[in-house]
Amino acid sequence: MGRRSSHTAEELRELILDASTMLISEGGLASLSAREVARRIGYSPGTLYNVFENLDDLILTIEGRLIDGLAAELDQVLSIGSPKEKALALGRAYIKYTSEKPKLWNLLFEHHLPAGREVPTWYQQKIDGIMERVESAIAPMMPDSKPEVIKRTAQVLWAGVHGITSLATADKLSIAKSEGAGPLVDNLIITYLAGLKQGS
């Protein structure tokens, strides 16, 4: 066939990412296949490998965009309010973002690199960015605490919110359905923060 160039390299990249994202949001990671993506964009499977190293590379790119999207949502919510209100807003924003496209967000936890391969640096940095936002939101509540304590508090809160969302979405462990996750997250944040204030 030869150079067709109906799309530039960047266009092709977006085409692939869009089709892949759509496939995953519809049927989860299992629905993603190089051949199906190629079919949908009207190229052959081999062409994907001119743009991405392999499917893992493609998937990691999508994961990166998901984290970026969450970070943007969190920023929108962090401009005003007391620390406690910010913490609540962060939890609610997480629920909102992840429940809009649960299959897509679940990608972050369904997908694992093959044994021995590590996530790239940029990926870990994006994740660190999320945690930093949580830390800076709650830091004013604990002015006398050491940074490690603040960090640990942020980790516990964040992991707790994630756990509720994750179990609710997967419908596992007898957690109420997704619309019930909101109250649980509020309850966790309010009660945990109350315990923090009292405990110190």
Partner DNA sequence: TTTCATGGGACGTCGTTCGTCGCATACGGC
Partner DNA sequence: GCCGTATGCGACGAACGACGTCCCATGAAA
Long-range contacts for 11-20 (Cβ within 8 Å, ≥24 apart)?
12/41, 12/43, 12/47, 12/51, 13/51, 15/41, 16/41, 16/48, 16/51, 16/52, 16/58, 17/58, 17/61, 17/62, 17/65, 20/58, 20/59, 20/62
Determine contact, residues 74/93, Cβ cutoff 8 Å. yes
For residues 21 and 153, which CB has a smaller minimum distance to its own copies in the complex?
Answer: 153
Residues near DNA (CB under 7 A), total: 25
> Binder to its own copies among 25, 28, 36, 47 (CB under 8 A)?
28
CA 120 to chain centre: 16
- Window 123 to 182, contacts with its own copies (CB under 8 A): 124, 127-128, 130-131, 152-153, 155-156, 158-164, 166-168, 170, 172-176
Contacts with DNA by CB under 7 A lie at 1-7, 12, 32-36, 38, 42-47, 49-50, 54-56
Contacts with its own copies by CB under 8 A lie at 27-28, 30, 108-110, 112, 114-115, 124, 127-128, 130-131, 152-153, 155-156, 158-164, 166-168, 170, 172-176, 183-184, 187-188, 190-196, 198-199
